[in-house]
Chains A and B, each alone.
Chain A
Amino acid sequence: MVENNRWGNFFAHVILILGVAIVVFPVYVAIIASTHPPGTFVRGVMPLWPGTNAWENYTTAITEGRSRAGTPPIGGMMWNSFIMAMAITIGKLSISIISAFAIVYFRFPGRIFFFWIIFLTLMLPVEVRIVPTFQVVADFGMLNSFAGLSIPLIASATATFLFRQFFMTVPEELMEAARVDGAGPMKFFKDILLPLSITNIAALFVIMFIYGWNQYLWPLLITTDPDYYTIVMGIQRMVTGGDSEPLWHLVMATVVLAALPPVLVILFMQRLFVKGLTETEK
């Protein structure tokens, strides 16, 4: 332990407070800005105390957006983002846990080969393969659809790899005991492996949900129909849409709304999430 000295303590706290301020201040400004009437920002002075227009700004953003400039209401975009993020998360989790199960527990020809193939895709994030992926999605006629938004992002080497690592720490005797107890492979998966993985699933759920929610480039590329716009795209359109000044109060309201669901997911899953990252089941 470092010695408990007064100045040391003082400096430690100064640095911590500074760090927190640097992280929190922009978020604070965004929240404050979303509560002021339209004219405030044109004057060039950034208010630091909440304004009175919060309710009005948020209802405008959610229900109207900036329709005349081609930005649909935020409410619909949030719903789109939510569907896309959930589809990506659930798709990633189900596919990767099943592939990890196959790779760890079954001896089939080409097992190692397939593992490395999956592993290799780690090197190919969406941005790298975006042109061919776009071509494939376009040829399948999946532009402007939820399928097009989510399916190309579902394959996940990261999650497969993490589940594989976790499964390899599960003692082999558990599987053998289950075999002696008359549980076939799928029963073993359902009754034993799945309940044991629950904390890992929760942790990955949070990570994958945020990943899906934050997708920007891909939705931008394949959606031209405002019915399929996602909120992260919406922020951008909000800023640049139209010829007039950006409506900063609405932009900020959109930003705050866009940041909300990931925060909620983390708060909701926090207990399991932290457990999954720090604790290994004994």
Chain B
Amino acid sequence: MASITMDNLCKVYIGGVKAVSDVNLDIADGEMIVLVGPSGCGKSTLLRMVAGLETISDGTLKIGDRVVNNLEPADRDIAMVFQNYALYPHMTVFNNLAYGLKNRGFKKAEIDRRVREAAQMLEIGQFLDRKPRQLSGGQRQRVAMGRALVREPAAFLFDEPLSNLDAKLRVQMRVEIRQLQKRLRTTSLYVTHDQLEALTMADRLVVLNAGRIEQVGTPMELYSRPATTFVAGFIGSPAMNMLPAEYLKTLVSADDLAHLPQSADLIGIRPEDLSLAPPKEGEMALTGELMLLEPAGAESHLHLKLAGLKDIFVARLPQVPDVSEGTALTFSLRRDQLHPFDSASGQRVA
């Protein structure tokens, strides 16, 4: 168990490409941190720097009180779960779990105890004599987890561990990993590109974009008060609608936007904040023509055309309304649910 401290971490590849720039992050002991961002944002690189699989170009990395910049992965007291599991194909499940312990010179009895304990925790006890190719994807995933567990490391590092599983299994494993992590209270760093996975699993969420941290916070902080337009667009599904303030002024009354600062020239509206009920006190109205209705069982996504706006505006309702495409619909929205941004800097202004 240990904290992880990143101080101005940078990764510059040969040729000058900067994959990670000036990342500062303190991860508390026992915390589950999820790194999320689009492909190529540097999240995997950052994780691999913590693991020791990528060199650190600049800055310091501490695990516990130790600076580990120049330590081999094996000496950092971390365990990693890989995206494609990286199980040793010629070894039985037992030996896959035991390999790291054997290399560290653990006694046979201790190895046996730890492997069986982990196998029981992950319910893979009956597979210990099998080879990885005889297992299903979900079972392989558990073995990969087990290999991390038996080490009892200071920190777990997960590199998109669920992206090779089907949707149903992914949800199930997500819950199991989170429960396991809460039970063991082991510091964890988890990389994913799936914002839903990020929101549901994290104690704190780190959104990365182009190698920089956009925002750090609890999932709900990031969801309800995104600090930048990038975070606003990345967290939440469907993505937040972004309207120029000038344009919005032509649609709604001046009072509706009076509470926003002058510098706010880009206004974000979450699709799920809109409702079809008539506007009440403190609410504003927005009218658009329904282009497409996407029913999704318990909810529906409405693609709307607003007068004079090129982009499609999306609303999400907690039911499937009985409306036909081509009709004009009026939505209501609480004024305090507008997200004001400065378009030049991309920063939130209030």
Q: Write the residues of chain A forming the contact surface with B, with a CB cutoff of 8 angstroms.
A: 171, 173-174, 176-183, 187, 191-192, 195-196, 281-282
Tell whether B80 is near chain A: CB-to-CB under 8 Å.
yes
A180 partner residues in chain B, CB cutoff 8 A: 51-53, 73-74, 78-80, 100
> Which residues does chain A contribute within 8 Å of B80, judged by CB atoms?
176-177, 180
Give every chain B residue within 8 A of A181 (Cβ-Cβ). Answer: 74, 99-100, 103, 147
B residues 39-78 touching A (CB-CB < 8 Å): 51-53, 72-74, 78
B74 touches A179 (CB 8 A): yes
Instruction: Check if B89 sits within 8 Å of A182, measured CB to CB.
Output: no
B259 within 8 Å of A (CB atoms): no
| Complex CA–CA separation, A281 to B133 (angstroms) | 10
Q: Number of residues in B with C-beta < 8 Å to the partner?
A: 23
Interface string of B160-198 (1 = CB under 8 A from A): 000000000000000000000000000000000000000
Question: Is the CB–CB distance between B84 and A173 below 8 Å?
Answer: yes
User: Can you name the residue of chain A whose Cβ is closest to the Cβ of B89?
Assistant: A281
Residues of B in contact with A (beta carbons under 8 Å apart): 51-53, 72-74, 78-80, 82-84, 86-90, 99-100, 103-104, 133, 147
**A180-B73, A181-B74, A182-B74 known; A171+B133 contact, CB < 8 A:** no
For residue A262, give the distance in angstroms from its CB to the closest CB of chain B.
29
| Residues of chain A within 8 A of B104, CB atoms compared | 182
Q: Evaluate contact between B72 and A177: CB separation under 8 angstroms.
A: no
CB-CB under 8 A from B79, the residues of chain A are 180
A177-B80, A182-B74 known; 4 other A-B pairs, CB under 8 Å?
A173-B82, A176-B51, A176-B53, A183-B99
Give the residues in chain B near A179, CB-CB below 8 Å. Answer: 52-53, 72-74
Complex CA–CA separation, A157 to B84 (angstroms): 32
B230 to chain A, nearest CB (A): 30
A196 CA / B133 CA spacing, docked (Å): 13
Of residues B73, B87, B133, which shows the largest number of chain A Cβ atoms within 10 Å of its Cβ? Answer: B73
Q: Is the CB of A176 within 8 A of B82?
A: yes
CA distance A183 to B104 in the complex (A): 9
Q: How many whole Å from B90's CB to the nearest CB in chain A?
A: 4
Q: Which B-chain residue is minimally distant from A198 (CB atoms)? A: B90
Most chain A beta-carbon contacts within 10 A, residue among B74, B104, B147: B74
A178 / chain B contacts, CB cutoff of 8 Å: 88, 99
Decide if A282 touches B89 in the complex (CB within 8 Å). Answer: yes
> In the complex, which residue of chain B has the Cβ closest to the Cβ of A183?
B103
Known A-B contacts A176-B82, A181-B103, A182-B103; A196 and B74 likewise in contact (beta carbons under 8 Å): no
- B72–A191 touching, CB < 8 Å: no
B contact residues around A171 at 8 Å (CB): 84, 86
